[in-house]
Amino acid sequence: MTSPILYTFRRCPYAMRARLAIAASTVKVELREIILKNKPAAMLEASPKGTVPVLLDTDGAVVDESLDIMHWALKQSDPEGWLDASYYESGMQLIGQNDTAFKPWLDRYKYADRYPEHPMSYYRDQCADWLSELDHKIASDGGGLLASHYVLADYALFPFVRQCAHVDKAWFNAQHWPALQQWLTHHLESDLFGAIMHKYQPWEAGTQGVMFPQMSESLADC
């Protein structure tokens, strides 16, 4: 193995945040797009828990948490200063809130039929509390969640806000969250996001994956 291997699924928000950091760092990996209903044995051997993303480093080390993969990439190269020490601790707290408190409500909102204890609108309201808080943070900080520029927390939370907004775009757009809506639009229209959302054929055992980011996909070339 000459390059680290990244097992990923295009639409998974955890995998998105990992790819965002790798593309921004321009660290090269062999990307292996998987099908969730047919997870490759090689991925399950590396990480039996069976969730994406999974990174297998050249030394055999396995990194199978999305935030850890972000750190793995950015500690090698962080040209945009995502790990800015001034905002790191507060950013990690925000990411923790997103992953442990907001994400469970997001899952219930998106898959409300699996959680019949409450109507979909109930789960949406729980999500709205968090989104309103993010809108306030962005409006107060001048463009980003913690600063006037984007740092780790912005990119770590963006895929989840995107997923929530896409459940009912009309509802999301109708809310009075101008700062959050502008923030989301900026991410969605960015070259970086476009670079990580290319569609690749699912990887098959015994074949070479796709080198990522490709020259046209790196943040340096955007």
DSSP state of 8: E
Residue 48's pLDDT is 97
Q: Look up the CATH number of domain 5-79+193-221.
A: 3.40.30.10
Taking alpha carbons only, the member of 102, 107, 110, 197 closest to residue 157 is 102
Report whether 174 contacts 168 (CB < 8 A).
no
pLDDT means over runs of 10, the chain (222 residues):
94 98 97 97 97 97 98 98 98 98 98 98 98 98 95 98 98 98 98 96 96 66 34
Max distance between CA atoms of the chain, in angstroms, equals 51
**Contacts of 73 by beta carbon, 8 Å cutoff, 6+ apart:** 18, 21, 22, 24, 25, 27
5, two tokens:
């291997």
pTM assigned to the model: 0.95
Residue 214's pLDDT is 82
CATH code 3.40.30.10 region(s) in the chain: 5-79+193-221
Distances, alpha carbon 181 to alpha carbons 18, 138, 210, in Å: 23, 10, 33
CATH code 1.20.1050.10 region(s) in the chain: 85-189
DSSP state of 2: -
Pick the CATH number of 85-189 from 1.10.1740.10, 1.20.1050.10, 1.10.4190.10, 3.90.1150.10: 1.20.1050.10
- In degrees and rounded to multiples of 5, residue 128 shows phi and psi of -60, -35
